[in-house]
Amino acid sequence: MSTHVDSWYASSTAATPPRPLLEGEVDADVCVIGGGIAGCSAALHLAERGYRVVLLEAELIGWGASGRSGAQAITGVACGQSKLESLIGDGDARRIWDMTVEALRLQRDLIDRHRIDCDYVTGQMHVALKSRQERELREDVETAHERYAYHSLRMVERDELRSLIASDRYIAGTYDSACGHLHPLKYTSGLAAAAERAGVTIFERSRALGYQRAPSPSSATLSSSSPLVVRTDRGIVRCRSIALCGNAWLGPFAPALARKIIGVGTYIVATEPLGEARAAALITNNAAVTDINWVIDYFRRSSDHRLLFGGRVSYSGVDPLSTRRATRARMLKVFPQLADTSIEFAWGGLVDITLNRAPHFGRLEPDVYFVQGFSGHGIALTGIAGQLLAEAISGTHDRFDVFARIKHRDFPGGKALRRPALVLAMLWYRLRDLL
């Protein structure tokens, strides 16, 4: 029986009744594969447009990155706007920026409209450890104001920063009042429930194994209006379109997509409850915080007054050190005053990254769509990705195709050598964090 990873998120989310496995044959207009935020959002938006939707999840809703992440809802894409401009030009890069800002509004709208109880809190900060990084943050604020007319972002100087974060580690930061943080598993579960109320049928523990074109109606009972067949262990879905939202977990279902992303391990710990006053003293404005090292630390307060702290990544695909011990050590570099506290939860998961760190959207065939490669910027962006999938499947491709114009290369080295090559490449960036 599938279970969620032993995280604070899972421990603080009410159990939902088990959903059925797919057994036998079902018909749909669209088969969505993947029960994370992107898949649940796509299913919901498609159902609201009148489509019959079946969603297949290999494990449980929110089992992957959507239910385990650092859960900071932020603007932009992981590669940054300057990189995006070099890939697709200034005009399309601006359109994507605007859609990432819209993604934050969409997220708040979905939470409010569907009454999703997911501990949403406004405010997010990026913080600098050294002068070079402080200059980068100042340039980000200038660009946001002058080029993108985005004024929710402001600079936070050293003295103010010390009043907001009880740490001597950082010298400056930014604060974005349009961003925020939430409980990702509750949010994903809430989207799934909203999709079901809209008419979506969800099957859990039903891994999609592959798809094929249906035989012609003259040689089989399959309808010509359902040209695609998605297979699981125990059943099939006949459909007109497929939306692939499985990211790093799609595996052999779509080998061409697997070559464009790689799953990078990231790790989070949750302290014991600190009490309201002690937790509030750590981050007085209750914002989510991320430093801008290549190997980042990110942290925030929980609704029950813990510190949730993420850090470390594993590009090799294994966790060679104790997650609990190593991540706690990183936490104490930021907040040494927590040395007397225990860690109650420690967990990890995979972030799907692309080689250029830009999102990867497109089509495998005219009626087989995909979104993947959010590269750590998925909490808000996956939600609007689901909406864009619904738009594209409905025949309005314009906004989806802006993302689809971003070119992506395979990770070098093939299946056997891509991880060793990536590990070697990342050594430079780890060293750069120390300079």
pLDDT for 314 equals 57
Neighbours of 409 (CB within 10 A): 10
- Eight-class DSSP state of 324: H
Q: Tokens for 349?
A: 């998961």
Sequence-ordered alpha helix ranges (H) in 284-357:
323-334
pLDDT for 433 equals 47
Determine contact, residues 205/235, Cβ cutoff 8 Å: no
pLDDT for 323 equals 77
pLDDT for 312 equals 67
Determine contact, residues 186/117, Cβ cutoff 8 Å: yes
Question: Chain centroid to CA 383: how far?
Answer: 9
pLDDT for 321 equals 53
DSSP string, 111-128: HHHTT-----EEEEEEEE
pLDDT for 422 equals 47
Measure Cα distances from 80 to 75, 136, 168 in Å.
10, 11, 27
DSSP H or E stretch at residue 196: helix 184-197
First to last CA, the chain: 47
Closest CA to 227 of 243, 212, 207, 208: 212
Closest CA to 382 of 158, 197, 117, 106: 106
With tokens 């250029």, the residue in question is 356
The Cα–Cα gap between 143 and 23 comes to: 53
Q: What torsion do the CA atoms of 380, 385, 390, 393 make, to the nearest 10 degrees?
A: 180
Torsion sign (Cα): 72, 127, 338, 280: negative
With tokens 């800002």, the residue in question is 101
Sheet containing strand 201-203, edge to edge, reads: 201-203, 53-56, 30-33, 241-244, 368-372, 360-365
Measure Cα distances from 431 to 51, 70, 405 in Å.
50, 24, 33
The Cα–Cα gap between 150 and 235 comes to: 49
Give the pLDDT of the chain (435 residues) as one tens digit per residue. 678 999 999 999 998 888 999 999 999 999 999 999 999 999 999 999 999 999 999 999 999 999 999 999 999 999 999 999 999 999 999 999 999 999 999 999 999 999 999 999 999 999 999 999 999 999 999 999 999 999 999 999 999 999 999 999 999 999 999 999 999 999 999 999 999 999 999 999 999 999 999 776 544 444 456 799 999 999 999 999 999 999 878 878 888 898 898 877 789 999 999 999 999 999 999 999 999 987 889 999 999 999 999 986 654 455 555 778 889 999 999 999 999 999 999 998 888 889 999 999 999 999 999 999 998 899 999 999 999 999 999 999 999 999 999 999 988 765 544 445 444 444 434 444 444
3-state secondary structure of 258: helix
pLDDT for 428 equals 39
Closest CA to 57 of 258, 197, 230: 230
Determine contact, residues 339/332, Cβ cutoff 8 Å: yes
With tokens 């005219």, the residue in question is 366
Counting beta carbons within 10 angstroms of the beta carbon of residue 257, is it exposed (0 to 12), middle (13 to 18) or buried (19 or more)?
Answer: buried
Determine contact, residues 244/238, Cβ cutoff 8 Å: no
11-20, Cβ contacts within 8 angstroms, sequence gap of 24 or more: 11/345, 12/183, 12/186, 12/302, 12/303, 12/304, 13/183, 13/185, 13/186, 13/189, 16/61, 16/189, 16/193, 18/204, 19/61, 19/202, 19/203, 19/204, 20/203, 20/204
Determine contact, residues 39/64, Cβ cutoff 8 Å: no
Determine contact, residues 184/121, Cβ cutoff 8 Å: no
What domains does the chain contain, in order, with CATH numbers? Answer: 8-424 (3.50.50.60)
Determine contact, residues 429/296, Cβ cutoff 8 Å: no
